Amino acid sequence: MIICRNCNAQLDDSDKICRYCGTPVGTGAPAAPVYATPVSAPLTGPVGYSRLVDSEEVVAALKKNNRVSNIAVAVFVVLPFLGFLIYGAVSDKMDIGKAAVYGIIVSAIFAFASLIVAIRHKLDKPFEGTVADKKISIRMGNSQVRGGKSRTKYTVRFDCEDGKRRKKEVNIAVYDYLEIGERVRYLPRFPQPYEKYDKRKDGDVLCMFCSRRNPLTETACSFCHKPLIK
């Protein structure tokens, strides 16, 4: 294994040029990359999409994360049924048989909703593109629904390499992290599915498991301790 002298990316011994920044592999002062890069651009981190997404450590972290999510969904589905059973057993207002029926109905609704979310996630496909636009919108709440609370929606539009334009709703951490004009890839198998192509400008990277920002010098997230994709 060798290290690129320009962007510090890990390369194979057989590589002749850096697959991330285009710098020729060899000794001496760093040569100019194949692509045009402003001289003032700080070279504080790697350029290019990380190969760590398929590493054993990251795959194991994803499997663990999915197991926790599946357990949470199972609890979410079963809890209404158990709640109604307990209510029927301790309350005089509803017999246990009727409570069981209500519990089954509510749990079935939750299970159906979880199934729809799982199917939508399964059908979601990876893509690569450029951030084209960002928008914040506020939906005012109805005074008779949800206590009148408003909801802030963060939306990012991408011009994708397949010629399509895609719109994604993101959390505020991702919204602040992604800038218009930046090249990004979308990996739906991650909880935070956006990876920048060029991470040098920020000097930090967003954890693709918990959305916490971490310095590029770190290898694991300071919050969830899972591997950083860089």
Count of domains for the chain: 3
In a domain, 226, yes or no: no
Residues 204 and 157 in one domain: yes
pLDDT in tens, 4-62: 776 666 677 777 777 666 677 765 544 444 433 333 333 334 688 988 898 999 999 99
In a domain, 79, yes or no: yes
* Domain termination residue (choose one: 101, 123, 145): 123
Q: Is the dihedral of CA 101, 107, 110, 115 positive or negative?
A: negative
Of 211, 229, 216, residue with least CA distance to 154:
211
Q: Percent of the chain having pLDDT more than 70?
A: 83
Residues 139 and 208 in one domain: yes
Chain-centroid distance of CA 140 in Å reads 27
- In this prediction, residue 194 carries a pLDDT of 96
Residues 129 and 185 in one domain: yes
| Beta-carbon contacts of residue 174 (< 8 Å; ≥ 6 apart) | 154, 156, 192, 194, 206, 211
| Beta-carbon contacts of residue 37 (< 8 Å; ≥ 6 apart) | 21
Residues 153 and 102 in one domain: no
- Split at pLDDT 50, 70, 90, the class of 165 is very high
**Structural domain boundaries enclosing 13:** 1-43
In a domain, 230, yes or no: no
